[in-house]
Structure 1
Amino acid sequence: MQIETLKDVLHWTKEFHQHLSQCLFHCANKNLDERARMMLTYLSEHEKTLKDVVSGFEKSGEASALKTWCYEYVNRHPITRHAHCDTPFAELNASQIMDVIIEQHQQVIELYRYLASRAEIPSAMELLNSLLSLEEHEMMRIVQSSNRFSDL
């Protein structure tokens, strides 16, 4: 996918969460560790919810913000599609699953952080800061939830 504008970034983020949700769901019943299966199911639902939230931003975002160019970051820091299903979550334990999830979400957070720091249009800055805040808070929530799974 060619990413040039903030709308493209939102679309990519929506696809990121959707793909991750599907991959987590696909692997959930194949993992032999009960704790990991529960975590995969929870994370799959969580990613589906994030996809819906980002989709809302994509649909309701201010047109001038969505048309803001952002290819500079993408050219210097290519966004790689995750290869989770090439190394299935079914083969990972709960801790390894969280390591992969955190690393992938960190990539999205860094993208939003950089774009927000470079935004010149107030509506684009506001949109990016909202998305950055969403991703950071959801990451904290995921980590807290994973700690609860560890206590089981």
Structure 2
Amino acid sequence: MSYSTVKDVLEYSRRLHEHARNLYQQLRDQTQRERVDMMLQLLAAHEDTLAKSMVSMQEHISQKVLSEWHQFEPGSISEALKGCRELHPDISVDELARVALKIDDYLIGLYRQMLSEATTDDSRQLFENLIALEESEKMRTVRAALSASDW
């Protein structure tokens, strides 16, 4: 297993969110279904918000925390997004929500791993905040999927 800094983990998360956002935006161009398009628009905005949050966190976290090492080997973005292989223009809102939740769960698991290895209070706080952010966004996704029938 290799090691990465907290900055590397944040950068990996940013790229993952940007890649997911781009996938959702591309699928929006292909779908003819209004509800799916609305859900894709919401998910793309969700991923964009999270990507921007990663950049903001890097700017506001101390260099000491950013340079902290963790046992983490960033896998390929495509491996992390393997659930996105299920994306197709005729996907249902429920299937789309499941794919989005897989991405959130993947990152929550990563952040929990980082939290368990954190050596300082500041890095523990960062990973707790990241977990809370992902869980909050995950709940927004679930609520959007549940209310899709009202659109």
* Structure 1 and Structure 2 fold alike (TM over 0.5): yes
TM-score (norm 2): 0.87
Question: What secondary structure does 2:89 align onto?
Answer: helix
Q: Match of 1:103, as an amino acid?
A: K
Instruction: Give the deviation of 1:90 after TM superposition.
Output: 2.2
Counterpart of 1:8 in structure 2 is 8
Instruction: Give the deviation of 1:84 after TM superposition.
Output: 6.2
Q: How does 1:130-145 map to 2 (within 5 A)?
A: 130-145=129-144
Name stretches of at least 5 consecutive residues in structure 1 with no aligned partner: none
Q: Is residue 64–residue 123 contact of structure 1 (8 Å, CA) maintained in 2?
A: no
Q: Match of 1:144, as an amino acid?
A: R
Matched, 1:44 2:44: yes
Instruction: Give the deviation of 1:127 after TM superposition.
Output: 0.9
Distance across 2 between alignment mates of 1:121 and 1:38: 42
Name stretches of at least 5 consecutive residues in structure 2 with no aligned partner: none
Q: Match of 1:128, as an amino acid?
A: F
Q: Identity of counterpart residues, as a percentage?
A: 26
Q: Match of 1:24, as an amino acid?
A: Y
Would you identify which runs of 4 or more consecutive aligned residues in structure 1 move more than 4 Å?
Answer: 83-87
Matched positions, count: 148
Q: How does 1:61-140 map to 2 (within 5 A)?
A: 61-71=61-71, 73-74=72-73, 78=75, 80-83=79-82, 86-140=85-139
TM-score (norm 1): 0.87
Q: Is residue 15–residue 51 contact of structure 2 (8 Å, CA) maintained in 1?
A: yes
RMSD: 2.1
